[in-house]
């Protein structure tokens, strides 16, 4: 397979390259694509140097699968061009996610929807992916009615500039600011831009994307997204009201049996998910599982995942693996 990684020098792009090697992805030719200022630079993959090329040159190289992690503007302009040239595009930006003509895919949940007609496939928001991974088996069993989620999101979700801001603050060094305020020793209830309804774009992604992934609008989600000074992964406090009652032991069994989900839930040993342990792993970790004692048929839980891996790169590569095995 001739694979193009668009945005190869970015945070997600670098993780994609790492995972292509880790997972022994069938790459016959690797094409690394980045902005004009990076063209000609060398990146090592499996011990060999690969020279970065521009989008126009990559378009002529008969790509089979192109994984885009270069921002919305680039995806909006170039993803259709790559698709027209015969590639299947897996896009990490938000521009195609709510397009009714595009599939929004978490492979463990809805990869079966993909066909040869799907030439641009949307990768969901990082916070959405870990949320639906835990909610999906419970929704099948008990039918969700309403979800309230508060996120505690890593600076790595914003990008290199934000990680550098945190590192500068830790070192006491002045530098460029990714956020309107310091992030160290702080919590910013401000992920992405504010919308007219008072929510941020990130919060509305969490509200809308799960309904599309699960192909079900019978439940509602409301979200508050907060940026915190960690770099290892995103965490979520989730409150779920179901239409049907449940037993906690059955909830744990269902989650334990779900591929890609690991339950870490033992308060006797202080065992619960944390970004410091989720970092560098592909699973979604769930803990602090308990009944909401103020509302019947309602569950509380805590969900953590590496936002650059399962929240972005791993999910994209899993989509590509499914395409190779079942579609292409």
Using alpha carbons, select from 131, 154, 309 the residue that is nearest to residue 232: 154
Q: Give how far the C-alpha of residue 175 lies from the chain's centroid of Cα atoms, to the nearest Å.
A: 28
139 catalytic per annotation: no
126 catalytic per annotation: yes
Q: What's the maximum distance between 2 C-alpha atoms anywhere in the chain? A: 60
Which alpha helices (H) appear in the chain, and where do they start and end? Answer: 11-22, 55-59, 72-84, 107-110, 126-142, 160-171, 201-213, 248-256, 275-278, 314-326
**Residue 267 DSSP one-character state:** G
Using alpha carbons, select from 323, 324, 315, 327 the residue that is nearest to residue 133: 315
Q: Which of 50, 126, 139, 191 is catalytic?
A: 126
Beta-strand relationship, 234-242 and 298-305? antiparallel
Q: Which of 50, 139, 191, 234 is catalytic?
A: 234
For residues 228 and 152, is the Cβ–Cβ distance under 8 A? yes
Cα dihedral sign for 121, 122, 126, 132?
A: negative
Residues 6+ apart with CB under 8 A from 206: 125, 127, 128, 131, 149, 151, 221, 223, 225
Q: Which residues are catalytic?
A: 126, 234
């Amino acid at each position: 397979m001739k694979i193009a990684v668009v945005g190869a020098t970015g945070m997600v792009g670098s993780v994609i390259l790492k995972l292509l090697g880790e997972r022994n992805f069938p790459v016959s030719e690797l094409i690394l694509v980045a902005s004009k200022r990076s063209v000609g630079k060398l990146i090592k993959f499996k011990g060999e140097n690969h020279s970065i090329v521009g989008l126009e040159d990559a378009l002529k190289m008969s790509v089979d699968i192109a994984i885009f992690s270069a921002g919305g503007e680039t995806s909006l302009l170039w993803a259709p061009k790559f698709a027209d040239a015969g590639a299947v595009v897996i896009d990490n930006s938000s521009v195609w996610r709510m397009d009714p003509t595009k599939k929004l895919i978490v492979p463990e949940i809805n990869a079966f929807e993909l066909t040869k007609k799907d030439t641009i496939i949307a990768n969901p928001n990082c916070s959405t992916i870990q949320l639906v991974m835990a909610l999906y088996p419970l929704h099948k069993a008990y039918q969700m009615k309403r979800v309230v989620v508060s996120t505690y999101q890593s600076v790595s979700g914003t990008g290199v500039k934000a990680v550098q801001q945190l590192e500068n603050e830790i070192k006491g060094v002045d530098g460029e600011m990714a956020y309107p305020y310091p992030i160290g020793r702080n919590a910013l209830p401000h992920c992405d831009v504010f919308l007219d309804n008072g929510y941020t774009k990130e919060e509305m992604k969490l509200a809308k994307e799960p309904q599309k992934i699960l192909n079900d609008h019978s439940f509602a989600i409301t979200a508050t997204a907060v940026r915190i000074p960690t770099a290892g992964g995103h965490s979520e406090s989730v409150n779920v009201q179901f239409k049907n009652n449940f037993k906690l032991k059955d909830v744990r069994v269902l989650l334990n049996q779900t591929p890609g989900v690991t339950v870490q839930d033992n308060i006797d040993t202080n065992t619960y998910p944390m970004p410091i342990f989720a970092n560098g792993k592909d699973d979604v970790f769930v803990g602090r599982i308990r009944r909401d004692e103020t509302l019947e048929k309602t569950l509380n839980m805590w969900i953590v995942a590496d936002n650059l891996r399962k929240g972005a790169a791993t999910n994209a590569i899993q989509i590509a693996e499914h395409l190779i095995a079942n579609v292409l």
